[in-house]
Amino acid sequence: MWKDWIRPFVRPLPQWSTVAIAPTSRAVTATLHGDDASVDVTADHTVASLKPLVIATSVDAGERPLLEYTDSTTQRLLGVLHLVRMAPVTTDKASISLYQVEGGEHYCLSWLRRSWNAWLQNRLMLKSRAPHHLAMDPSAVQQLMTAYLHPRPVVLVSLDAPGHQNIFPMDLIGPLERSGLFSLALRSTNVSEPVMREVRQVALSSIPAAMKNVVYKLSEHHKQPLSDWNALPFPVRTSREFGIPAVSSALHIRELAVLHSQTIGSHTFFLCRIASDEDLAEGLQLHHTAGFHQAYRRKRNMPFAEV
């Protein structure tokens, strides 16, 4: 159809693609190239802040490392981020390196289509900027999309404190493998942020892909707390040690004890110890990846299942 042919010229790819992936999948490998060595950080890096865009890892890779994302099957380079070291986060348990993203590019599309698609996406971002939103610079959003070449799992985070209960989606989360810690980056304006700093306990439910619509609806709870656990459109079960209501149909429930929290730009970065880890069901988990990554995979007849 002529419309399919013309679409890439007039309409940008979506920034994000919501996909169904096995929690153990390692479709993309992340490697940090530092001064002395290259280290696999697939399970050891996460986003710590969006504005500025900051990556956290338990690896110290020197002053100006490169973070590369490669397709684990074909070994093709998908994208790269140029990083600059910031002051680390230091606790009595670990020192976590922070790197501000200074530049980046992806190689999922041909040069011409990449530049044109970025121009269309950036134009749309500038046009649809709402004043109360976190207005990231379009070039930083392009770099964030590159960080999402490594698909990010979506969880529902729940907390239950006297006078305050809540459950909301997060994907700026992840293990910092070598430190044994797990991190969460939560916008400092989130209504539960002060409570999380105070009670220091949360439960993370790994969400089956089929629950996408319910999860997106719960993003309203970034702004307002939950009035009643019984009002949720799915059953809950209490987490093993902390007794926090979590999602009964979760693939996995992880309890986190917050060891340290600090503000990094627009976000509060929580460093946590995993207090319990329950595997409940097999299945595909909701993930986010970059739209250009899904386009790359579709062209090669290996798209992630879209939800």
Ligand X SMILES: Cc1cc2nc3c(=O)[nH]c(=O)nc-3n(C[C@H](O)[C@H](O)[C@H](O)COP(=O)(O)O)c2cc1C
What does the binding site for ligand X look like in residue numbers (CB under 6 A)? 133-134, 154, 169-172, 185-187, 190, 215-216, 219, 222
The smaller minimum CB distance to ligand X, of residues 65 and 169, is found at 169
Closest approach, Cβ 162 to ligand X, in A, equals 24
Closest approach, Cβ 157 to ligand X, in A, equals 8
Token pair belonging to 85:
């070291």
The smaller minimum CB distance to ligand X, of residues 162 and 233, is found at 233
The smaller minimum CB distance to ligand X, of residues 109 and 145, is found at 145
Closest approach, Cβ 222 to ligand X, in A, equals 4
The smaller minimum CB distance to ligand X, of residues 77 and 134, is found at 134
Q: Tell me whether the omega of the peptide bond preceding residue 138 falls within 30 degrees of 0, making it cis.
A: no
Half-sphere exposure of 274 (CA within 13 A, CB side): 17
Give me the DSSP letters along 126-153.
Answer: HHT--TTS----HHHHHHHHHHTTSPEE
The neighbour count for residue 96, using CB atoms within 10 Å, is 24
Closest approach, Cβ 16 to ligand X, in A, equals 9
Closest approach, Cβ 155 to ligand X, in A, equals 9
CA nearest neighbour of 85 among 95, 94, 77, 76: 95
- Strand ranges, E, within 207-251: 236-238, 245-247
Give me the DSSP letters along 46-107.
Answer: EEEETTTTEEEES----SS-EEEEEETTT--EEEEEEEEE-PPEE-SS-EEEEEEEEEEEE-
Closest approach, Cβ 126 to ligand X, in A, equals 16
What 8-state DSSP symbol labels residue 265?
T
Token pair belonging to 165:
């209960």
How many angstroms separate the CA atoms of 68 and 290, rounded?
15
The smaller minimum CB distance to ligand X, of residues 39 and 284, is found at 284
The smaller minimum CB distance to ligand X, of residues 220 and 279, is found at 220
The smaller minimum CB distance to ligand X, of residues 70 and 266, is found at 266
Closest approach, Cβ 132 to ligand X, in A, equals 6
